[in-house]
Amino acid sequence: MSKIKTLVYFDNDKGRDVEILMPVLYYGEKYLNLEIEKAFIFDIDKIRRHKPDLVILANTIGSRNHHLIAKYAHQNGIKVFALISEGNFRTDGTFNYWGYNTDRKFYQEYICHWSERTRKFLVRELPEYADRMVVTGATGFDRYKIYDFETKESFLKRYGLEGFRKVIGYAGWAFGKLHNPNGLEELHETYKEHAPDFIRWMHRQQIEVENLLRTAIENNPDTLFILKRHPNEKHPHLTQPDNNEMVRLADYPNVLYLTDEEDVHTLISVSDIWTAFESTTVLEAWLMKPDMPTIFLNPDPDFKRDINYKGTVVVSEAEDFQNLIDEFYRKGKVEAMYTPERVEARHRIVRDVIGFADGMNHIRAGYYLAETVKKIRPGKTRKVKPRLLYVARWLGLSLGQYFYYKPLFLRLPKFKKTVWIFDRHKLPGIERLKKRYYPYLDRFHAEHDIPEKITRSSWWKSLWESART
């Protein structure tokens, strides 16, 4: 049986999209005869050079490159299978579900949803695509049921911070968008006529959240505060210094400020308490460590937001934050996390946001990946029309890497925007992650007898009916 030549596009070799794709690629390799070749998001011409049977993407709307890849593959008769990176979108009409897809056409075989909530909404909005809209669950969250994660002791040793025993994590918000042109443009595009008021509100909140964090850091010198920058705070080509609610706190001796050095699941794993201004990472904390307190630091808690706040504790004052910290280290828990309302909210939020919390969302996605593969004739000779822009990009990348010297490129205005491309394009971390993650997936599939179960149609039917949280 011929292999299915598969080109998988990544914009980085770590982070959210990699976590979304990795378990699905495992399924494809193990059960669907996929022969996977990785590709960097900038190198769209690799579709012409590689002539794959199938292109896989984490999403088709998250950047212009994502959209162009899906379109180029589709135009040349190549099947596209795509997931969704930001699947917890609002269903009140305020979310731009097209993103960078300026054509307002879907080029992938299936529109994969995290939950039935979002599927129903988009079916109402775009009924012409109803038969292609499916629920897979959020594949990136499967790792909390499958993988082993780093211990606090190992992490602190790596950073030479063994003197700390208490660790509080903070997931940054996108305040950094206020301080770069691209971010401001996104805010104006999203909030339209309300953007000026919202931007002023964001400026005030940034200052007040920074003050809340500063007070806690100064009042708890024996506690390490890990502050993690939001991944979408600024575009990767921007090389300007960070400006957000955390960066001015980085020099405290009990602060570790991180940009993209660590995955968020590692930081949740090593933290005792998980905090944020507003973040879906609290949901990840609930999945990994159900007894971990999650706290939102909201000087102004009255704003339009996702429902995650209903399952977590919200504080507006530094004194209230300190009381929760003291309570946890004195009693081992925060009582406010266990009110009936918050407990029920967490169960409901997990269901409405990620669909299923059983670790099998990558298998549900695998079902639709298999349906896509059924439409492919492997071994077929393909002709892919060259696009001058994409060929020029490839040639520029191929030749430019021999002259790339980061300190010099950072000093040249026309070249510094390409630093992220040359830094990432070889994607060395993908193979390392495969070697690390695939044994965990092997273990999970063996423990749940997946190779046998996927041969039974009755089991597939039950997979969407069971394990809802």
What residues contact 405, with CB distance under 8 A and at least 6 apart?
none
pLDDT per position as a tens digit, 207-226: 999 999 999 999 999 999 99
Provide, rounded to the nearest whole percent, the portion of the chain with pLDDT above 90. 75
Q: What pLDDT is stored for residue 224 in this prediction?
A: 98
* Residues 295, 275 contacting (CB under 8 angstroms): yes
**Residue 194 or 27, more confident:** 27
Whole-angstrom distance between the N-terminal and C-terminal Cα of the chain? 39
Q: What pLDDT is stored for residue 302 in this prediction?
A: 83
Nearest CA to 189 out of 123, 102, 301 is that of: 102
**Residue 1 or 467, more confident:** 1
**Residue 95 or 264, more confident:** 264
Under DSSP, the state recorded for 241 is P
Q: What pLDDT is stored for residue 242 in this prediction?
A: 76
Q: What pLDDT is stored for residue 469 in this prediction?
A: 44
CA distance 111 to 154: 40
Nearest CA to 296 out of 250, 342, 259 is that of: 342
pLDDT per position as a tens digit, 431-458: 999 999 999 999 999 999 999 999 999 9
Encoded tokens for 95: 């979310």
Residue 237 has pLDDT above 70, yes or no: no
Q: What is the mean pLDDT of the chain?
A: 92
Residue 425 has pLDDT above 60, yes or no: yes
Considering the entire predicted model, what is its pTM? Answer: 0.88
Instruction: Quickly state the pLDDT bin for 467 (edges 50, 70, 90).
Output: very low
